[in-house]
Amino acid sequence: MQPLFLYNTLTRKKEEFKAISPPFVGMYVCGPTVYADVHLGNCRTFISFDIIYRYLVHLGYKVRYVRNITDAGHLESDADTGEDKISKKAKLQQLEPMEIVQTYTVDFHNVMAQFNALPPSIEPTATGHILEQQEIAQEIINKGLAYEVNGTVYFDVEKFAKDHNYTALTGRKLEELLENTRDLEGQQDKKGRLDFALWIKAKPEHLMQWNSAWGKGFPGWHIECSAMSTKYLGEQFDIHGGGMDLQATHHTNEIAQSIAYCGKQPCNYWLHTNMLTVSGQKMSKSLGNSFLPSELFSGNHPLLDKGYSPMTVRFFMMQTHYRSTLDFSNEALQASEKGFDRLMESHKTLQTLIPSATSSEDIKALETRCYEAMNDDFNTPVLIAVLFDAVRIINSANDKKLSLTQADIELLKKIYQHFIFDVMGLKAVSENSKSMQVLDKVVNIVLDLRNKAKAEKNFPLSDEIRDKLTESGVQVKDSKEGTAWKI
C-alpha cells in the first residue's frame, strides 16, 4: 500500500498517516446542532468527511466513525453567552426540545442520504451522555484545572496554559487572545476571561436541565465531544475532524479538556474542512445567506438559475480541495453538471467497448495516479482530472482512435467502481430523479408566466394558473420574499 499523507492542523504539516492499531481507525467528526435545517455549508463539511471515511475503508482500514448530534449545550454564542439554541427554538415554537431535535435530526439524515453520504458507525447525542460529561468535569476539578462558582463549572485556561500549549491548534499567542477577548456581561463569576464553561447552572425557566453535584444545570458545548469521543474511541484515537470555524474555540477547548482529564492529546491527526462561501462570505444561518439543499435541488431560490441534482452538487463540492474555500456560483454548478454527465456517459460507453488485441494506453499508470491524488491529503480535484483522462481514453477507444485490450477495459471498470462510486460516492442519476428535475423546471417556467401575468395586472389569468397548479397537486404560496411551491 502506498503511504497516505494528510494535513494535520495541529502540526501544520502534511504527515504520513499511521493508525494507532491498524487495521482499526477511530475517527470523530463534530456533527450538527439540530435546531434548524442543515444548510449547504454544513453539508460540505459532512460530505468531505464522507469521502475521507470512504477512502480509508477502501484502503482496507476498519473505521469506527463517530459523528455526534448536538442536542443540548450549544449556546447562541460560542463564548458561552445567550440561550441554548434548541431550548430557544422549542420555546418559540411551543414544542418539546426533543421534538425540535427529532425534526432536524430526521431532516439531516434525509439530506445526507440524498447526497449518498454513508451513515457513521455511531451517532451519539449530548443528552444521552450527561453522566459521562459530569464525570469528566468532576475529574478536571479534582485535577485542579476547573472550579465551580454558583453552580457553573469553569475550565481554568490560564492555569492550564502554565504547563500546556493551550493555543496549539491555531498557533495564536495566548497574550493576543487575552488582549482581544472582552470581559463578558453576565459572566463575572469567571476567574479568567478565557475560561469556558464545562457545566452551566440552569435558570428555572431553562427547558433542558439535569441534576448534578453542582445543582441543576446543563453541559457546556465542548465537553460533549470530549466525553463521546473518549467513550467510543478511547483516550487517544486517530482522526478528529470538523469545519475550520470550530478550530479556535470548540476544538481548542476539547484538546484542553482531554489533556486536563487524562493527560494525553486526544487524537493524532486534526483535519479541518474549509468553508462554503457565497460571494466570498461564509455561508451561515445567522448571516442569512444560506441555502437549503432542497432549494438547490428544486432551483426554488432567488440566487439560483435552476435546480441541480444532489449528485451534481456532490461532484461540484469535490472539484475543490476540502482545505480550500469553495465559492458558490451558478456558473460553477452548471460546469459541474456538464462534467458529471460526461463522467456518467463515459461509464455507459465503457460497458460497450470492443477490446482490441493490442493496447496503446497505460491504464495501470492511470490507476496509480488516482491513488497518488487521494494519498496526497485526499486531493479530489486532481483525482477528477485523472478521471477525465480516463473519459478521454474511453471516448477515443469508442471512436477507434486508440486501442484497449480486454484487460485494459476490465481495469478501467475497476477504476470507475473504486474511485467514482466507492470513494467519491457518486451514483448515476435515476430516470425517476431526472423526471423530478424536469418537473421542477416546468413548474418554475409556469410560475414565471404567472408572475408576468401579475405584472401586467392580468389577475384572472394569474389566479387561473395558480388554481390549475393546485388541481394538479402543486401547492403555490406567495409571500413578501417571493413565491414558493411544493408538491
Residues near ligand AMP (CB under 6 A): 30, 32-33, 41-42, 44-45, 242-243, 245-246, 273, 275-276, 282-284
* CB of 471 vs ligand AMP, minimal distance in Å: 40
Helix (H, G, I), strand (E, B) or coil at 386: helix
Residue number with CB closer to Zn ion (241 or 310): 241
Instruction: Report the partner that residue 278 touches, choosing among ligand AMP, Zn ion, none (CB closer than 5 to 8 A by kind).
Output: none
Instruction: Report the partner that residue 33 touches, choosing among ligand AMP, Zn ion, none (CB closer than 5 to 8 A by kind).
Output: ligand AMP
* CB of 48 vs ligand AMP, minimal distance in Å: 8
Instruction: Report the partner that residue 223 touches, choosing among Zn ion, ligand AMP, none (CB closer than 5 to 8 A by kind).
Output: none
* CB of 78 vs ligand AMP, minimal distance in Å: 10
Going by C-beta distance under 8 Å and a sequence separation of 6 or more, which residues neighbour residue 216? 151, 201, 202, 209, 210
* CB of 111 vs Zn ion, minimal distance in Å: 19
Residue number with CB closer to ligand AMP (70 or 138): 70
DSSP 144-173: TSEEEETTEEEE-HHHHHHHS-TTTTTT--
**Helix 330-352 with 310-318: angle, nearest 10 deg:** 100
Among 176, 210, 171, 239, residue whose Cα is nearest residue 11: 171
Instruction: Report the partner that residue 276 touches, choosing among ligand AMP, Zn ion, none (CB closer than 5 to 8 A by kind).
Output: ligand AMP
Query: What's the residue count for the chain?
Result: 487
End-to-end CA distance of the chain: 50
Residue number with CB closer to Zn ion (30 or 275): 30
Instruction: Report the partner that residue 374 touches, choosing among ligand AMP, Zn ion, none (CB closer than 5 to 8 A by kind).
Output: none
Residue number with CB closer to ligand AMP (107 or 245): 245
Q: Are 212 and 141 in contact (CB under 8 A)?
A: no
* CB of 196 vs Zn ion, minimal distance in Å: 13
Going by C-beta distance under 8 Å and a sequence separation of 6 or more, which residues neighbour residue 330? 303, 304, 305, 306
Name the residue whose CB lies closest to ligand AMP. Answer: 243
* CB of 223 vs Zn ion, minimal distance in Å: 10
* CB of 92 vs ligand AMP, minimal distance in Å: 18
Q: Are 477 and 485 in contact (CB under 8 A)?
A: yes
* CB of 189 vs ligand AMP, minimal distance in Å: 26
Give the cell for residue 363: 491504464
Residue number with CB closer to Zn ion (229 or 300): 229
By the criterion CB under 5 A, which residues form the site for Zn ion? 30, 225
Residue number with CB closer to ligand AMP (20 or 122): 122
* CB of 225 vs Zn ion, minimal distance in Å: 3
Looking at residue 376, the DSSP 8-state letter turns out to be: B
The string over 450-461, giving b where at least 16 C-beta atoms fall within 10 Å of a residue's C-beta and e elsewhere, is beebbeeeeeee
What residues are paired with 21 via a beta bridge? Answer: 24
Residue number with CB closer to ligand AMP (277 or 334): 277
Residue number with CB closer to ligand AMP (41 or 120): 41
Residue number with CB closer to ligand AMP (188 or 286): 286
Instruction: Report the partner that residue 225 touches, choosing among Zn ion, ligand AMP, none (CB closer than 5 to 8 A by kind).
Output: Zn ion
* CB of 46 vs ligand AMP, minimal distance in Å: 7
* CB of 45 vs Zn ion, minimal distance in Å: 12
Helix (H, G, I), strand (E, B) or coil at 31: coil
Residue number with CB closer to ligand AMP (145 or 271): 271
What residues are paired with 64 via a beta bridge? Answer: 26
Residue number with CB closer to Zn ion (247 or 360): 247
Among 451, 475, 440, 437, residue whose Cα is nearest residue 300: 440
How many other CB atoms sit within 10 Å of the CB of residue 402? 17
Cis ω before 23 (30° cut-off from 0)? yes
Among 429, 425, 424, 467, residue whose Cα is nearest residue 446: 467
Going by C-beta distance under 8 Å and a sequence separation of 6 or more, which residues neighbour residue 367? 411, 414, 415
Helix (H, G, I), strand (E, B) or coil at 316: helix
How many other CB atoms sit within 10 Å of the CB of residue 238? 24
Q: Are 293 and 310 in contact (CB under 8 A)?
A: yes
Instruction: Classify strands 146-149 and 482-486 as parallel, antiparallel or unpaired.
Output: unpaired
Residue number with CB closer to Zn ion (19 or 225): 225
Instruction: Report the partner that residue 41 touches, choosing among Zn ion, ligand AMP, none (CB closer than 5 to 8 A by kind).
Output: ligand AMP
Instruction: Report the partner that residue 32 touches, choosing among ligand AMP, Zn ion, none (CB closer than 5 to 8 A by kind).
Output: ligand AMP
Instruction: Report the partner that residue 217 touches, choosing among ligand AMP, Zn ion, none (CB closer than 5 to 8 A by kind).
Output: none
Residue 139 half-sphere exposure toward CB, CA atoms < 13 A: 16
Helix (H, G, I), strand (E, B) or coil at 69: strand
* CB of 408 vs Zn ion, minimal distance in Å: 46
